[in-house]
Amino acid sequence: MAFKGYFKQIEQGEVVDFERVIEFVGNHWQLVGAFAGALGAWFVYETRKQGETVSPQQLVQHVNQSNALVIDLRDPKDYRQGHITGARNIPYADLKDKVGELQSKKEEPVILVCGLGQYAGAAGKMLHQIGFKKVLRLSGGVNAWSSQGLPLVKAKS
């Protein structure tokens, strides 16, 4: 198998020269083509999401400096177990029905937060289409927030 030689060189710390890379591409063009196609599909998928991503630190800056509204898209049960201070819970499934409650915030920054960041893109697209000017998404969602040791508020029972 051709891979063994490449990996052995890398493990020994040798530099793989460009001719070897070209040889690999020529010998494994299907694999390289599949990788390029997957990379292209991922790029298209990511660009169709609406809203710039922000880090947890940038979220704090937006809230403190521009009074951004933080919307937590998770289910109420997850929200009660721990949410970002000041976040408003509007589950993703209910967003279409409750968007009227947010009309007064169209000109202000809105930061969308979910568990891992998977729903925030679609929610951002929806809000952008109905006229929200500045829609942002927390990169990595609440998991990224808590993994950086930032506080979560538990709802009172």
50-106 tens-digit pLDDT: 668 899 999 999 999 988 999 999 999 999 999 999 999 999 999 999 988 888 888
Of 108, 124, 128, 111, nearest in space to 66 by CA: 108
Task: Look at residue 155 and tell me if it is in a domain.
Answer: no
Same domain membership, residue 57 and residue 36: no
Full 3-state SS string of 105-147: HCCCEEEEECCCCCCHHHHHHHHHHCCCCEEEEECCHHHHHHH
pTM value is: 0.69
First-to-last alpha carbon distance for the chain, in angstroms, is: 61
Q: Has residue 14 got a pLDDT over 80?
A: no
Same domain membership, residue 123 and residue 65: yes
Same domain membership, residue 64 and residue 135: yes
Residue 114 known to be catalytic: yes
CA 118 – CA 125 distance, rounded (Å):
12
Q: Which residues contact 78 (CB under 8 A, 6 or more apart)?
A: 115, 142
Same domain membership, residue 84 and residue 9: no
Asked whether the beta carbons of 87 and 72 are under 8 A apart, the reply is yes
Domain count across the chain: 2
Domain range for 22 is: 3-48
Half-sphere exposure of 2 (CA within 13 A, CB side): 8
Of 145, 76, 150, 155, nearest in space to 111 by CA: 145
Same domain membership, residue 113 and residue 83: yes
Nearest-Å Rg of the Cα atoms of the chain is: 22
Q: Which of 113, 114, 135, 136 is catalytic?
A: 114
* Res 16: pLDDT: 62
Same domain membership, residue 24 and residue 70: no
Same domain membership, residue 87 and residue 127: yes
